Amino acid sequence: MAGIGDEIQERLRRWTLELGGPGTRERLEKLTPPRNEYGVDPYGFDVDFMQAAAAPVLWLYRKYFRVKAIGLENVPGEGPVLLVGNHSGQLPFDAAMVEAACLVDKDPPRAVRALVDKWVPTLPFVSTLFARCGQIVGTPENCRRLLSAGEALLVFPEGTRGLNKPFSQRYQLQGFGLGFMRLALENGVPIVPVGVVGAEEQAPAILDIQPLAKLLSFPHFPITLTGLPLPMPVRYRIWFGEPLRFTGRADDEDAVLEGKVARVRDAVAALLARGIAEREHVFW
């Protein structure tokens, strides 16, 4: 699938099981998304391919970022849920780590789908890789459909504003979009706040060259201390907070929704504050 030979794919899958630790095979077998004779679900999610592609992600999860996931029991084992977190680090490793946590440190595992920007499907290879791993463009139609099918979605309401913010603004939550709250209200879905501690320091950006970003039709063009947006081996701590439930009309005015969104934002900020207070060091 997607240009990777069967043998390499098999080898990667074995690496995934090894990195996942004992019992990983049994846990992953509990993932049974719908699939047709070509091994994909209607969105193009290929659970076999994902388990192979997960290997390098798990290596980052276990060895590089040495992720500590706290409060995973707050993510419901089944049924629709929105995971809402802070976004940072120039490249979206935070999404991959949240998903890895739900895959290998949760029993039964959950295949969380991250909502990606409309920009992603214009990228060669990345678009295909993301689609086969279950990532989805965050249109309201897609979200509605997936939530009514009982799936777990990962949302970063800060979008690229958070992802590509300069180092000086680390752990300062940017403006949250309101779309996720409308979805939660419309579908009666709980929201699990997620605080990702560590990613904010992984690739300190000092500059954002907007003209270059425009030229390449990238959302941002950050220049980091190392020149490249590659992450340093910071230690991740991912905090999952207790599910929040909201009631009200999905098509209320923005002002009404902003109050509810602020509660989610505060919950994420509280997780971040606690995570920063309790960690000993950025790198270990």
Segment contacting other proteins (CB under 8 A): 22-30, 140-148, 205-213, 256-264? 140-148
The torsion region of residue 227 among left (phi > 0), alpha (psi -120 to 50) and beta comes to left
Interacting span for other proteins (CB under 8 A) from 63-71, 72-80, 121-129, 259-267: 121-129
Check binding of 142 to other proteins (CB under 8 A): yes
91 touches other proteins by CB under 8 A:
no
CB of 127 to other proteins, least distance (A): 6
| CA 266, chain centre distance (Å) | 19
Q: Where are the alpha helices (DSSP H) in the chain?
A: 6-20, 24-29, 47-59, 93-104, 126-132, 140-148, 160-163, 179-187, 210-216, 254-278
Minimal distance in Å, beta carbon 276 to other proteins? 36
DSSP 3-state of 176: coil
Angle at 272 between CA 269 and CA 277, to 5 degrees: 125
Are the CB atoms for 183 and 189 separated by under 8 Å? yes
Cβ closest to other proteins, residue 215 vs residue 262: 215
Distance of closest approach, residue 227 Cβ to other proteins, in angstroms = 24
Token output for 228: 């490249």
The nearest distance, CB 113 to other proteins, in angstroms, is 11
Count the Cβ atoms, other than its own, within 10 Å of residue 202. Answer: 24
Nearer to other proteins, 45 or 61 (CB): 45
9, 74, 127, 169: which one binds other proteins (CB under 8 A): 127
Q: How far apart are CA 61 and CA 238, in angstroms?
A: 11
Q: Restricting to residues 100-119, which ones interact with other proteins according to CB under 8 A?
A: 118-119
Cβ proximity to other proteins: between 146 and 234 the closer is 146
Q: Assess contact for 65 and 198: CB atoms under 8 A.
A: yes
- Spatial distance between the Cα atoms of 112 and 54, rounded to a whole number of angstroms: 13
The distance of closest approach from Cβ of residue 115 to other proteins in the complex, given in angstroms and rounded to an integer, is 12
125 binds other proteins (CB under 8 A): yes
- Interface with other proteins in residues 33-72 (CB under 8 A): 36-38, 40, 42-44
- The least CB distance from residue 136 to other proteins, in Å, is 7
Give yes or no for residue 131 binding other proteins (CB under 8 A).
yes
Contact between 172 and 273 under an 8 Å Cβ cutoff? The reply is no
Binding of other proteins by 124 (CB under 8 A) = yes
> At which residue do the structure tokens 């295909």 appear?
128
Judged by CB under 8 A, does residue 136 bind other proteins?
Answer: yes
Looking up tokens 């390449």 gives: 216
Question: How far apart, in whole angstroms, are the C-alpha atoms of residue 284 and residue 48?
Answer: 33
Query: If you count them, how many residues does the chain have?
Result: 284
Taking the complex as a whole, the smallest distance from the CB of residue 105 to other proteins amounts, in Å, to 29
Q: Is 179 in the site for other proteins (CB under 8 A)?
A: no
Q: Is 284 in the site for other proteins (CB under 8 A)?
A: no
Query: Footprint of other proteins on this chain (CB under 8 A)?
Result: 1-3, 36-38, 40, 42-44, 118-128, 131-132, 136-137, 139-142, 145
